[in-house]
């Protein structure tokens, strides 16, 4: 028998318990759902995003696809977006040394051409970026860069069976088509698929990338300083103080990019190439198949697409390696022609204007923009108006 106190009330354990009935659970889920839907939209009102005519996603935010989509939303319908990887983004140059910048100079309309490149992007990832974050792209004119570097070897094509780590894994097809070197577990794949269709999750990733060095708050809190013994400088910091509502921007002076920096120099002082690439056949290439799907997807959305193929640095190749490259490049041009896709295959730039196999230096971008602008097909394409070709 339970003991009693002097009051005569039986002792009973204290239970801090709240039980919800079905109606209350429904109300709770409803409120939570509304908050999750509204938060990403309201966040855009409190976190300013300033874009200039030569704006590009900062290098450190290359995986912030929510921010990328938001930057596209701020462009106007008459802008021409230039899509592609680091060749479009401008790996070795400042933002005023990119292809889009010099196309703006040629046009005499600052901001007419928008830098839609992302560092480390490749066709299999570009497909996911366009499909899931490229809504603001429709319908408008798009220049899509085709970089044959992604078909320069089975490893670059992601078709080797050995596991490889690569950029933008969250954007690639998680199940089909199968990517042999992609060995992520089921949880990671499902999380990537869910995030693509869940704006709240995309917003949460934006916070991690923009304010916490691409780490979750728990991982940021447990980050050590690299010393022995390790110290944990963030262990007692309030993580909410990191959310400053100021999106990181590119440095005014970047020691990694632009004329005068150690990386901004010709690939070779001699201009004599000896690199041998293991070119992948087009009909076997995962990257080329993805690029084809990207073009067809954009056209199905009403975009007017023009493809620029290269120009790849032929000077870097051994002479005997060039015929295989030219067959691949010509095969790309043939497919584009047969599918009525406007395209330009620029001539190879002088050797001294390349930083490596595919990235021009500042003067190289300037020359490439001039050649594109003087091309009759390019000028005709720019004058055309209306829906994209199908």
pLDDT of the chain, 390 residues: tens digit per residue = 455 555 555 565 655 567 777 887 777 777 777 777 788 889 999 999 989 889 999 999 999 999 999 999 999 999 999 999 999 999 999 999 999 999 999 999 999 999 999 999 999 999 999 999 999 998 999 999 999 999 999 999 999 999 999 999 999 999 999 999 999 999 999 999 999 999 999 999 999 999 998 888 888 888 887 888 888 888 888 888 999 999 999 998 999 999 999 999 999 865 667 889 999 999 999 999 999 999 999 999 999 999 999 999 999 999 999 999 999 999 999 999 999 999 999 999 999 999 999 999 999 999 999 999 999 999 999 998 754 444
Quickly count: other Cβ atoms within 10 Å of residue 364's Cβ.
Answer: 24
Cα-based distances in Å from 103 to 71, 84, 368: 19, 15, 9
To 5 degrees, how large is the angle CA 239–CA 243–CA 248?
Answer: 130
Residue 236, in any domain of the structure = no
Backbone angles phi, psi at 82, to 5 degrees: -105, 115
pLDDT of residue 390: 42
Directed axis angle between helix 362-374 and helix 99-107, to 10°? 40
Query: What's the total number of domains in the chain?
Result: 1
C-alpha dihedral sign at 148, 151, 153, 158 = positive
Nearest CA-CA partner of 117 in 98, 104, 131, 132: 98
Residue 95, in any domain of the structure = yes
Q: Which domain holds residue 69?
A: 56-182+258-383
Q: Which residue has the tokens 């239970």?
A: 15
Residue 123, in any domain of the structure = yes
pLDDT of residue 89: 98
Residue 234, in any domain of the structure = no
Residue 360, strand partner residues = 354
Residue 5, in any domain of the structure = no
- pTM for the full predicted model: 0.89
Output the CA torsion 189→190→196→202 (10° steps): -100
Rounded Cα–Cα distance for residues 222 and 233 (Å): 8
Cα-based distances in Å from 330 to 30, 72, 78, 343: 56, 32, 32, 12
Residue 28, in any domain of the structure = no
- Order the strands of the 80-84 sheet from edge to edge: 113-117, 80-84, 141-146, 304-309, 343-344
Backbone angles phi, psi at 169, to 5 degrees: -60, -25
| CATH, residue 69 | 3.40.50.1110
pLDDT of residue 268: 85
Rounded Cα–Cα distance for residues 372 and 103 (Å): 8
Residue 133, in any domain of the structure = yes
Residue 308, in any domain of the structure = yes
pLDDT of residue 17: 66
Residues 6+ apart with CB under 8 A from 204: none
Residues 6+ apart with CB under 8 A from 211: 242, 243, 244
Q: Where are the alpha helices (DSSP H) in 143-225?
A: 186-196, 199-211, 217-221
């Amino acid at each position: 028998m339970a003991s009693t106190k002097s009051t005569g009330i039986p002792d009973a354990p204290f239970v801090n318990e709240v039980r919800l009935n079905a109606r209350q659970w429904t109300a709770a889920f409803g409120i939570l759902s509304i908050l999750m839907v509204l938060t990403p939209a309201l966040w855009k009102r409190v976190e300013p995003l300033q874009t200039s005519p030569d704006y590009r996603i900062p290098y450190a935010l290359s995986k912030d696809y929510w921010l990328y989509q938001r930057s596209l939303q701020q462009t106007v319908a008459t802008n021409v977006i230039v899509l592609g990887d680091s060749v479009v983004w401008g790996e070795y140059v400042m933002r005023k040394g990119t292809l889009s910048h010099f196309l703006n100079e040629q046009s005499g309309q600052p901001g007419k051409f928008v830098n839609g490149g992302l560092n480390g992007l490749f066709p299999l990832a570009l497909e996911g970026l366009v499909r899931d974050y490229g809504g603001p792209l429709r319908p408008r004119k798009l220049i899509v860069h085709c970089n044959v570097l992604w078909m320069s070897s089975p490893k670059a094509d992601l078709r080797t069976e050995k596991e490889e780590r690569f950029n933008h894994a969250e954007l690639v097809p998680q199940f089909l088509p199968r990517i042999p070197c992609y060995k992520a577990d089921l949880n990671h794949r499902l999380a990537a698929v869910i995030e693509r269709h869940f704006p709240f999750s995309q917003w949460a990733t934006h916070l991690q990338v923009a304010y916490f060095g691409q780490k979750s708050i728990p991982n940021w809190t447990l980050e050590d300083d690299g010393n022995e013994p390790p110290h944990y400088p963030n262990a007692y910091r309030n993580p909410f103080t990191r959310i400053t509502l100021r999106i990181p921007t590119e440095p005014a002076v970047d020691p990694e990019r632009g004329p005068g920096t150690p990386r901004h120099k010709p690939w070779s002082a001699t201009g004599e190439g000896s690199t041998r690439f293991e070119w992948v056949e087009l009909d076997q290439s995962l990257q080329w198949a993805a690029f084809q799907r990207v073009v067809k997807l954009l056209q199905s959305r009403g975009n007017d697409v023009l493809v620029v193929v290269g120009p790849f640095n032929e000077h870097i190749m051994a002479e005997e390696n060039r015929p295989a490259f030219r067959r691949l490049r010509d095969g790309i041009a043939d497919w584009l022609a047969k599918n009525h896709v406007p395209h330009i295959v620029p001539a190879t730039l002088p050797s001294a204007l390349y930083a490596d196999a595919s990235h021009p230096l500042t003067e190289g971008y300037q020359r490439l923009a001039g050649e594109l602008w003087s091309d009759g097909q390019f000028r005709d394409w720019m004058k055309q108006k209306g829906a994209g070709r199908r």
